[in-house]
């Protein structure tokens, strides 16, 4: 019996098959475990965990600076009434906007519109 | 898995899917390895079906519980057999299985082989003789002759030098040749 025949002999050896119950038990275990994975995927705990920990603090600070700068730069969000532009998606200050629907006619005391 | 059949993915990719809770990937991986690992445990743990089933289940439970333990940069086959080997080694340590279970079979073993012997019986005799050796030798033997692992792969599983694996294999062959002297005319180990 040489090495090749020994290999053949061992390769053909049959020791039976695993218990099918083992597979069923493993599948049940996997379902239980994967349910845990999905809950974690859909939760915000990971995000809040990241937000309130010192990890990547410089990235978070840079993001905060960009947001703050955006609020300062954007004119629509400026609440000063001396600035001329007052129109954005949230509303129109009609007292300072002239359009076809709102005409101030000379000589009229009140501000009623005339069509 | 975007509709693609699990069978077309390699083991390492399937492990990545399992990490995200893909049941199909797990079933496919189990289908690929259950028979091989069952045989390995069966022959490593004194030909016990009960132990083989228990160990097979424990091994796959380890994958379910913590799939991130596997590093996808390495071979899954090598990794899973190294886990299986470590489980067997721990079992040997825990129960002193060689002294407990195997001694009884050794006593029953007839030292004289019959003139004619079936293949099945011959394999059983070979493994009974291998029980005398340590788990390393038995693992090397099974991995080489059953699984067709290369020397380097076995070395990786057992975390030893390839030269040591070669030496273990040589020693095992020599040991079997001595044990089966009756077959020397027919057997050339």
pLDDT, tens only, A20-61:
999 999 999 999 888 766 555 556 777 787 888 888 889 999
More confident residue, A76 or A72: A72
In this structure, what token pair is assigned to residue B103? Answer: 């001694």
Q: How does DSSP assign B138-162, residue by residue?
A: HHHHHHHHTS---HHHHHHHHTS-H
Q: What's the rounded Cα separation, in Å, for the pair A17 and B182?
A: 32
Indicate whether A31 belongs to any domain: yes
Q: What's the rounded Cα separation, in Å, for the pair B48 and B57?
A: 14
Phi, psi torsion values for B105, nearest 5 degrees: -70, -35
B119-134 residue pLDDT tens: 888 888 888 888 888 8
Q: Where are the domains of chain B?
A: 9-181
Query: Over 80: is that where the pLDDT of B12 sits?
Result: yes
Tell me the residues of chain B between 95 and 154 that have a Cβ less than 8 Å away from chain A.
Answer: 119-120, 122-123, 126, 142, 145-146, 148
Indicate whether A1 belongs to any domain: no
Indicate whether A14 belongs to any domain: no
- The total domain count for chain A is 1
In this structure, what token pair is assigned to residue B70? Answer: 């596997």
Nearest by CB: B43 against A15, A26, A38:
A15
A86-95 residue pLDDT tens: 556 666 555 5
User: Per the CB < 8 Å rule, is B56 touching A2?
Assistant: no
More confident residue, B116 or B166: B166
Among chain B residues, the shortest Cα distance to A12 is held by B146
% of chain A surpassing 70 pLDDT = 56
**Which pLDDT score, from 0 to 100, does residue B189 have?**
47
B25-81 residue pLDDT tens: 999 999 999 999 999 999 999 889 999 999 999 999 999 999 989 988 889 999 999
User: Per the CB < 8 Å rule, is B57 touching A27?
Assistant: no
Q: Residue A64 burial (CB < 10 Å; 0-12/13-18/19+)?
A: exposed
Tell me which range, A6-10, B97-101, B153-157, is most confidently predicted by mean pLDDT. Answer: B153-157
Task: Write the CB contacts of B154 (distance below 8 Å, at least 6 apart in sequence).
Answer: B139, B140, B143, B144, B165
Among B81, B43, B21, B56, which Cα is nearest to A22's?
B56
**Which pLDDT score, from 0 to 100, does residue B84 have?**
96
Mean pLDDT estimate for chain B: 84
Is the ipTM higher than 0.90? The answer is no
Indicate whether A100 belongs to any domain: no
Q: What's the rounded Cα separation, in Å, for the pair A88 and A98?
A: 15
Q: What's the rounded Cα separation, in Å, for the pair A26 and B65?
A: 11
Nearest by CB: A19 against B53, B64, B189:
B53
For the B9-181 domain, the top CATH level (class) is mainly alpha
Phi, psi torsion values for B184, nearest 5 degrees: -60, -30
Nearest by CB: B57 against A6, A15, A22:
A22
Tell me the residues of chain A between 23 and 52 that have a Cβ less than 8 Å away from chain B.
Answer: 23, 25-27, 29-31, 33-34, 37-38
Nearest by CB: B145 against A7, A25, A27:
A7
Among chain B residues, the shortest Cα distance to A41 is held by B20
- Using DSSP bridges, classify how beta strands A91-92 and A87-88 pair: parallel, antiparallel or unpaired: antiparallel
**Which pLDDT score, from 0 to 100, does residue A47 have?**
79
Q: How does DSSP assign B120-144, residue by residue?
A: HHHHHHHHHHHTTS-HHHHHHHHHH
Show the domain range for A28.
20-79
For residue A44, give how far its alpha carbon lies from the nearest alpha carbon of chain B (Å).
17
Task: Write the CB contacts of B29 (distance below 8 Å, at least 6 apart in sequence).
Answer: B11, B14, B15, B18, B63
User: Per the CB < 8 Å rule, is A26 touching B64?
Assistant: yes
CA A66 → CA A61, A76, B90, distances in Å? 9, 17, 57
For residue A75, give how far its alpha carbon lies from the nearest alpha carbon of chain B (Å).
46
**Is this model's pTM higher than 0.80 or not?**
no
């Amino acid at each position: 019996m040489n090495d090749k025949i020994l290999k053949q002999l061992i390769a053909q050896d049959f020791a039976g098959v695993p218990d099918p119950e083992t597979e069923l038990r493993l599948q049940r275990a996997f379902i239980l475990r994967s349910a845990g994975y999905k809950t974690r995927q859909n939760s915000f705990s990971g995000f809040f965990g990241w937000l309130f920990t010192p990890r990547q603090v410089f990235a978070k600070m840079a993001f905060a600076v960009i947001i703050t700068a955006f609020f300062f730069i954007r004119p629509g969000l400026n609440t000063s009434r001396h600035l001329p532009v007052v129109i954005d998606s949230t509303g129109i200050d009609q007292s300072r906007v002239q359009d076809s629907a709102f005409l101030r006619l000379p000589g009229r005391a009140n501000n009623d519109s005339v069509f | 898995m975007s509709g693609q059949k699990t069978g077309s993915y390699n083991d390492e990719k399937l492990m990545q899917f399992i990490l995200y809770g893909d049941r199909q990937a797990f079933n496919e991986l189990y289908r690929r390895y259950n028979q091989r690992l069952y045989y390995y445990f069966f022959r490593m743990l004194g030909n016990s079906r009960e132990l083989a089933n228990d160990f097979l289940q424990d091994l796959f439970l380890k994958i379910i519980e913590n799939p991130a333990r596997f590093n996808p940069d390495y071979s899954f086959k090598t990794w899973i057999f190294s886990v299986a080997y470590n489980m067997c080694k721990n079992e040997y340590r825990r129960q002193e299985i060689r002294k407990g279970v195997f001694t009884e079979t050794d006593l029953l073993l007839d030292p004289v082989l019959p003139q004619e012997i079936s293949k099945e019986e011959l394999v059983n005799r070979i493994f009974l003789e291998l029980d005398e050796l340590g788990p390393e030798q038995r693992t090397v033997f099974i991995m080489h002759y059953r699984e067709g692992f290369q020397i380097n792969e076995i070395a990786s599983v057992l975390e030893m030098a390839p030269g040591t694996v070669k030496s273990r294999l040589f020693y095992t062959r020599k040991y079997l040749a001595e044990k089966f002297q009756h077959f020397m005319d027919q057997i050339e180990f």
